[in-house]
Amino acid sequence: MKVTVIGSGYVGLVTGACLSDMGNDVVCLDVDARKIGLLQDGKIPIYEPGLQEVVRRNVEAGRLHFTTDVPAAVQHGTLQFIGVGTPPDEDGSADLQYVIAAARSIGRHMTDYKVVIDKSTVPVGTAAKVKAAVAEELAARGQSVDFAVVSNPEFLKEGAAVEDFMRPDRVVVGADDERAVLLMRALYAPFTRNRDRLLVMDLASAEFTKYAANAMLATRISFMNELALLAERVGADIELVRRGIGSDPRIGTQFLYAGAGYGGSCFPKDVKALVRAAQDNGITLQVLTAVEEANERQKKVLVDKVVRRFGEDLTGRQFALWGLAFKPDTDDMREAPSRVIVEELIRRGADVAAFDPVAMHEARRSFGDLPGLRFVADQAAALQGSDALLIVTEWRQFKSPDFEQIKATLRQPVIIDGRNLYDPGLMASLGIEYVGIGRGA
């Protein structure tokens, strides 16, 4: 099938690459000429495991193209995915300007039947706005061309994006047009063939499902983070509690990890947008409002632990920080808890020596020139001259470090671990003072 993907960021690029891998003829469009230039040169603008290989083989096979040429891109695909950003507006609601601009581009240049597919995360009612925008542009040209609008939210996780897209738990398709549903079924058949996981529903329910999923996952995390605070006080270990409850299939094992707070480009903004959408409808989402507040508090928990150990005034102290990205296997710094932690430590007078295996470049861009923050070449270098080691992101290479070296290099053998990577018993036996999240036992 001929497919156009508008917006070649995390979602657009992965969607385009994976669809081309199944034999579709895909054009990825972006307004960012730098991004398209890199892609045309065979370079991937983001860090995403496995993506480079999928892109390379499909570009070589002539099935995957990158362009900034809007008319040509729109004319190419019968299926037009919109995968542009939907950042939060000042009031927390999703800013739809990029989605509507993409819809207008389609209306301005289409000459035959199109299925316009909202893949971006968008609030209920957006499909109708997209439909109106396309129709308006067609009318302005005096054209009458048939088209359908479909909602097809994306559930991939960064760091596992290719795997998630290739083997989806489900594919949600919201539509009110039979022909469009048939095309979507055919497009996704190779991804869902052995497992009937394509769920067709009305547009509003599909749009709502995406927010409901992210809100539910964020709720689990905030809930566990709050339980962790209490576990510390009452002498329980949240890691044992997590296993104790996760083994109940009604609860399940995933997304129960207490940590340094959730970040990324989606949970924070989608929770805000859903709370806002509810307000606009006269409803206060009390649980979700608390989820967000708990997360704001959680992002400061590591600093609270530093203050408890080293005092309010951190002048003259230096802290080693391992992990800057909002999660492992990505270079994405959007809403990363490390931002709050670094800024708070520096505000209290400390210096920070930070290392991330992949996100150093993005981190430099995101922090700018922040006095007191130094980026170091490797994880060992961060330890030199530091009073304690703080672990913020659970990269694999941090899981079994050289503990003797850590102990010998730090000014004081203190590890404050925001991801509960180590065994407290082992740390005690090594003579390392170890503070985790929710580990009161």
Active site residues: 266
94 binds ligand UGA (CB under 6 A): no
Residue 85 touches which of ligand UGA, ligand NAD, none (CB < 5 to 8 A by kind)? ligand NAD
32 interacts with ligand NAD by CB under 6 A: yes
Letter string b/e over residues 362-396, b meaning 16 or more CB atoms within 10 A of that residue's CB: bbeebbeeeeebebbeebebbbeebbbbbbbbbbe
Q: Which of 256, 275, 303, 320 binds ligand UGA (CB under 6 A)?
A: 256
Could you tell me the smallest distance in angstroms from the CB atom of residue 265 to ligand UGA?
6
Least distance from ligand UGA to the Cβ atom of residue 293, Å: 16
Q: Which of 4, 17, 39, 85 binds ligand NAD (CB under 6 A)?
A: 85
Among 7, 77, 264, 436, binds ligand UGA (CB under 6 A): 264
The option from ligand NAD, ligand UGA, none interacting with 15 (CB < 5 to 8 A, set by class) reads none
Q: What one-character DSSP code corresponds to residue 316? A: T
Q: Applying CB under 6 A, what is the total number of residues that bind ligand UGA?
A: 20
Nearest residue to 306 via CA among 258, 355, 342: 342
Which of ligand UGA, ligand NAD, none sits in contact with 209, Cβ below 5 to 8 A by type? none
Give residue 2's identity as a one-letter amino acid code: K
217 interface partner picked from ligand UGA, ligand NAD, none, CB below 5 to 8 A per type: ligand UGA
Give the Å distances, CA to CA, from 206 to 115, 118, 170, 201, 210: 16, 10, 12, 6, 7
Q: Per rule CB under 6 A, is residue 403 in the interface with ligand UGA?
A: no
30 is in an annotated binding site: yes
Residue 184 burial (10 A CB sphere; 0-12, 13-18, 19+): buried
Residue where the block lists tokens 């492992």: 328
Residue 259 binds ligand UGA, judged by CB under 6 A: yes
Number of residues that bind ligand NAD (CB under 6 A): 26
> Two tokens at 104?
């207008």
Task: Quote the CA–CA distance of 53 and 36 in Å, as a whole number.
Answer: 17
Judged by CB, which is closer to ligand UGA: 121, or 318?
121
Helices (H), 125-266: 126-140, 161-166, 178-192, 203-234, 238-246
| Binding partner of residue 259 among ligand NAD, ligand UGA, none, CB cut-off 5 to 8 Å per kind | ligand UGA
Q: How far apart are CA 171 and CA 184, in angstroms?
A: 10
CB of 175 or CB of 273, closer to ligand NAD: 273
| Interaction pattern, residues 224-253, with ligand NAD; x per rule: CB under 6 A | ------------------------------
Helices (runs of H) and strands (runs of E) counted in the chain: 18, 14
Candidate ranges 97-105, 280-288, 308-316, 412-420; the one touching ligand NAD (CB under 6 A): 97-105
- The answer on whether 399 is annotated among ligand-binding residues is no
- Quick note: the x/- pattern for ligand NAD over 302-341, rule CB under 6 A, is ----------------------------------------
The residue type of 407 is K
CA-based nearest residue to 393, from 366, 426, 363, 417: 417
Distances (CA, A) of 392 to 239, 321, 325, 400: 17, 7, 9, 15
CB atoms within 10 A of CB 53: 13
Residues forming the site for ligand UGA (CB under 6 A): 121, 154-158, 214, 217, 221, 255-257, 259, 262-264, 266-267, 326-327
Binding residue ranges: 30, 35, 86, 121, 155-158, 210, 255-259, 263, 269, 327, 334
